[in-house]
């Protein structure tokens, strides 16, 4: 009997779409997914940084990385990105919403455009990404979502008023969706990092020298934060707060009366003015 060789198996790797992937936590999350053998769709405004990261990860891990230079602050960005991926027949198995912006300073000293930029990217763009990609996941019966919030989401933070409020929105939305989507095969995780050594933090420090007083032990390592987030997303945890100090602060803020949280937050925040 003549043996007919079987056709080679086609390996279908999960695909992770990561916004804000050009630097910081987003870039480190891309490395985590690449090490796990996931193909990548890297999204940010800076295509040069994305191309460099894509080349690095393809060479190291043998995955495929696509680059999309997209300004998610544009009102039509998520819709256009989703439509483009549909035309290419690409499904997103893991959605990582890491794109974000931070402006630090007294609320009254910041102009309206700065406040609006926080709202546009941290709130509107993230919600639009979720509304475009989660229905696809639910229809397929599987998917994972990671939304990057902050420990600032757990309490009011003077000098970060709009930013903290935007991250409280991200946390609340993530927790609601984590419950709403139970039984669908789709999980939603909120990452709530503390102060982390990223380009965003460096930029804030350059704008306000008083932030240089932050003790080094309070500044988290970006690779460790990303690793904790990746593992929590794979498990389907609703919330991940990397670092014992941040976890303690989160627990304390949720157990402490609101008036006292405001008092302590105000005392700390005013020291950076």
Active site residues: 163, 167
Cβ neighbors of 234 (< 8 A, separation 6 or more) are 144
Q: Could you tell me if residue 62 is left (phi over 0), alpha (psi between -120 and 50 degrees) or otherwise beta?
A: left
Q: Is 126 exposed, middle or buried (0-12, 13-18, 19+ CB in 10 A)?
A: buried
Q: How far apart are CA 107 and CA 96, in angstroms?
A: 29
> Can you read off the two tokens belonging to residue 19?
């916004």
d(CA 71, CA 121): 9
- Where does 211-269 show beta strands of DSSP type E? 239-240
> ∠ CA(161), CA(144), CA(188), 5° rounding?
40
**Residue for token pair 């800076």:** 46
Taking CA 241 as the corner, what is the angle to CA 237 and CA 196, rounded to the nearest 5 degrees? 135
Cα separation of 96 and 18, whole Å? 5
> What is the C-alpha separation between 105 and 123, in angstroms, rounded?
19
User: What is residue 43's three-state secondary structure?
Assistant: strand
């Amino acid at each position: 009997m003549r043996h007919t060789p079987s056709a080679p198996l086609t390996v279908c790797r999960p695909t992770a779409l990561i916004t804000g992937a050009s630097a910081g936590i987003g870039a480190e999350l891309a490395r985590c997914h690449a090490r796990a053998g996931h193909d990548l769709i890297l999204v940010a405004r800076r295509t040069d940084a994305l191309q460099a990261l894509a080349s690095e990860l393809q060479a190291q891990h043998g995955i495929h990385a696509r680059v999309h230079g997209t300004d998610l602050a544009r009102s039509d960005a998520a819709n256009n990105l989703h439509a483009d991926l549909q035309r290419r027949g690409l499904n997103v198995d893991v959605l990582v919403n890491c794109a974000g912006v931070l402006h630090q300073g007294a609320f009254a000293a910041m102009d309206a455009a700065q406040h609006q930029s926080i709202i546009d990217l941290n709130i509107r763009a993230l919600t639009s990404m979720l509304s475009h990609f989660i229905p696809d996941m639910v229809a397929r019966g599987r998917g994972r979502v990671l939304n990057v919030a902050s420990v600032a989401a757990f309490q009011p933070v003077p000098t970060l008023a709009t930013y903290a409020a935007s991250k409280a929105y991200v946390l609340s939305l993530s927790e609601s969706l984590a419950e709403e989507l139970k039984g669908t095969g789709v999980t939603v995780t909120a990452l709530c990092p503390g102060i982390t050594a990223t380009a965003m933090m460096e930029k804030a420090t350059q704008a306000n020298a008083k932030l240089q007083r932050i003790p080094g032990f309070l500044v988290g390592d970006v690779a460790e934060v990303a690793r904790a987030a990746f593992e929590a997303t794979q498990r389907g945890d609703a919330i991940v707060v990397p670092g014992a100090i941040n976890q303690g602060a989160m627990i304390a803020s949720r157990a402490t009366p609101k008036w006292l949280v405001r008092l302590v937050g105000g005392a700390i925040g005013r020291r950076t003015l």
